[in-house]
Amino acid sequence: MKALLMSGGLDSAALAHWLRPDVCVTIDYGQIAAKGEMAAATALCAAMELEHRRISVDLSYLGSGSMAARPTAPRAAATEFWPYRNQMLVTLAAMLLMPEGVTQIMVGAVSTDRHADGKARFFHAMDRVLALQEGGVRVIAPARRLSTPSLLRKSAFPYDLIGLTFSCHVHEFACGQCGGCLKHRECVDAVYRRTDEQVI
C-alpha cells in the first residue's frame, strides 16, 4: 500500500493525480487552515476517485508562526514555520497505516521548499528511521527536484481541478494574501495562463 500526505494544496494534489496512491491522508493537527485543507483534500480525492483518510489531533499549542497565529519560532526560515511539522505528519500517517500494511509514505515536497524538513537530507533520515521500525515503512518525496509549476506540468494536473485546491496558511477560506495563496496564484498563472485573460 502506498500513501500520500494530502493537504489539498497544489503539490500534493498534483502528486495524487500523477502517482495515484492507494490512499491519501489529511491531518488536522490544529493548524488554522485545517478546515480548508480538509475540505479541499476531500473534494480532490472524490474527484480523482482516490481513497481518503483523515486524522485529527490537536497540537495547536505546539505550533508556531502564521499557521498557528503565534510568534514564529527562532531560526525559522519563513513565517509559516511549524516546528518538526513534516516529521510529525509522516509519523502520524505511519501510526495510522502501518498496521494496515502501508509500505511507502509520499510527501509533496518540491525544490523551492525553504525549511529543513523539505530537503533531501531530512527525507533520507526519515526514511531510515521508519525503515528501522516495525513494518519497514519507507518515506519518499517524488517531486523534491521539481518546482511546483514543473510538477503541475509533469503530472498533467487538469485545470478544471485547480478550483478545488487550497493553499492558504491563515484561514479556512483562501485569504489571497498569505504566502501560500500568493504562491498558488503565481504557480497557476505560470502553468495555465498566457495572459490574465486567456487560459490555455
Sketch the domain layout of the chain as residue ranges.
Answer: 2-192
According to DSSP, the β-strands at 104-106 and 51-56 are: unpaired
pLDDT by residue, tens only, the chain of 200 residues: 999 999 999 999 999 999 999 999 999 999 999 999 999 999 999 999 999 999 999 999 999 888 888 888 888 878 888 899 999 999 999 999 999 999 999 999 999 998 899 999 999 999 999 999 999 999 999 999 999 999 999 999 999 999 999 999 999 999 999 999 999 999 999 999 854 444 44
The closest of 55, 61, 29, 76 to 179, measured between CA atoms, is 76
**Who's near 19: CB < 8 A, 6+ residues apart?**
2, 4, 106, 142
Give the pLDDT of residue 73. Answer: 84
d(Cα 89, Cα 69) in Å, to the nearest integer?
19
Residue whose grid cell is 525549511:
115
pTM: 0.92
Cβ neighbours around 186 below 10 Å, total: 12
* Residues whose CB falls within 8 Å of the CB of residue 8, separated by 6 or more in sequence, listed in order: 26, 36, 37, 38, 39, 40, 41, 43, 44, 164, 165, 166
What confidence score (pLDDT) does residue 72 get?
85
At 71 the pLDDT is 85
Spatial distance between the Cα atoms of 119 and 113, rounded to a whole number of angstroms: 7
Select 2-192's CATH number: 3.40.50.2300, 4.10.640.10, 1.20.1250.20, 3.40.50.620.
3.40.50.620
- Contact (CB, 8 A) for 192 and 200: yes
